Amino acid sequence: MTVLRDDVGAVRVLTLNRPEARNALNSELIEALYAAFCEADSDPSVRAVVLTGADPAFCAGVDLKEAQREGSAYFERYQTHNCITRVAEMRKPVVGAINGPVFTGGLEMALGCDFLIASERAIFADTHARVGILPGGGMTARLPQVVGAAMARRLSMTGEVIDAARALQIGLVTEVVAHEGLLERAVELAGQITEVPAPIMAGLKQIYVSGAAPVTDPALAAEQEISGALSDASDLGARYAEISERNRRQIRR
């Protein structure tokens, strides 16, 4: 199974489960994760969600091998099963438990969570530009909200990798914990969320989302328009070996 599901009381834990591919988003994982988000959002017994990855990574983002092989057909799948943007559309609160490296589309997905906590092993990078594609899942709209405009531009334009301590310093994550205690801590925080009456929590989340909408809406629209016009998947294969090897080196650290 590419997505593991575990219920801890009213908390649903969803785990991306392609560890051999650093949980990169292939077609099977895209569809399974999208379905899991929809199911959790519609299940009245679920009051909060924890999203994490099977070690050693949280999510490497786009499956570049499949994207290179399928070309535009790969990206068209997101039109109906966009697991990256679906996180931000959840009515239920989502806690992101970042257990390891999270890159590019994986980082966009993580940014859709209500807040993030990280393992000491977590590292973060927006490598869209280095891979040769533009963000299309909300990176340029949500990252500035979290870390500020200048830092967001720096991360996206340079593709630099930051560790968990730096992520905490710039506000990308709210807490860093020992790796072995990450999931327990994430479930604990999600459990605190479930103690609040459901209508109050739903209203609270709606207020936060509505407050961010005036900023994110035009940014998301511009991102999708420009990304759609300029992104080219045709030469991803030529870059795959270089990018993949760099990511593997970061994961092994």
Looking at the whole model, is its pTM more than 0.75?
yes
- Residue 105: helix, strand or coil by DSSP? helix
Q: Which of 85, 102, 103 is nearest to 94 (CA)?
A: 85
pLDDT tens, residue by residue, 197-231: 999 999 999 999 887 766 556 656 665 665 555 55
Please report whether residue 226 resides in a domain.
no
Please report whether residue 240 resides in a domain.
no
Please report whether residue 242 resides in a domain.
no
Check if the beta carbon of residue 128 is closer than 8 Å to that of residue 235: no
Is the preceding omega at residue 56 within 30 degrees of 0, hence cis? yes
The total number of structural domains in the chain stands at 1
Q: Which of 44, 45, 25 is nearest to 33 (CA)?
A: 25
CATH number of the domain within which 49 lies: 3.90.226.10
**Residue % of the chain over a pLDDT of 70:** 84
pLDDT tens, residue by residue, 79-94: 899 999 999 999 999 9
Please report whether residue 26 resides in a domain.
yes
Please report whether residue 127 resides in a domain.
yes
Please report whether residue 98 resides in a domain.
yes
Please report whether residue 102 resides in a domain.
yes
Mean pLDDT of the chain: 89
Domain limits at 42? Answer: 3-195
Please report whether residue 209 resides in a domain.
no
